[in-house]
Amino acid sequence: MKLLLNMSEAAILGLHAVEVIAESEGLRTTPDIAEELGVSYNHLAKVMQRLTRSGLVAPVRGPKGGFRLTARGAAAAVGDVVEAIEGKAEYANCLMGAKHCKRTRCPFRGFLNESNRRFEAVLRTKIASFTRQAK
């Protein structure tokens, strides 16, 4: 069965990487994060570049370097991370793929509106709340 929530692997890696850095006491390197998550170093390195460009994480150079969250990253919500990787979220208003449902009495309109509201609430959830739940 195809997943109903379609989020890129890069966005999922970004969420997990930010969460790993947030729960860490010190800096985390890309190889360290890739090993912990069991993912490709090369793919994660590209994701870390996007997170750096967005201002959510900052690289620290040197032999004991790695990544740390910026002040913006420490206060980030799930949607901030997803947007840094994928761009602005677009919501489906029609199961048939139309921009706007052409049926005046579509039985699925309420379902989609409720699903969109619930997903928006998830996107507003702070990353810090997930790290507190994990501990």
Which residues lie across from 67 on neighbouring strands? 28, 59
What is the rounded distance in angstroms from the CA atom of residue 74 to the CA atom of residue 19? Answer: 10
Say if CB 19 and CB 51 are below 8 A apart: no
Q: Per-domain residue ranges for the chain?
A: 9-134
C-alpha closest to that of 33 among 50, 46, 45, 51: 45
Tell me what pLDDT residue 10 has.
95
Residue 76 scores a pLDDT above 80: yes
Statement: 9-134 belongs to CATH 1.10.10.10: yes
Q: What does the alpha-carbon distance between residue 63 and residue 6 come to, in Å, rounded to a whole number?
A: 38
Confidence of residue 60 (pLDDT cuts 50, 70, 90): very high
pLDDT in tens, 85-123: 999 877 777 777 666 667 777 888 777 788 888 888 989
Bridge partners of residue 126, in order along the sequence:
77
Q: Is the pLDDT of residue 133 over 60?
A: no
What's the pLDDT band for 47 if we cut at 50, 70, 90? very high
Compute the C-alpha angle 14/18/19, nearest 5°.
Answer: 115
Average pLDDT, the chain: 87
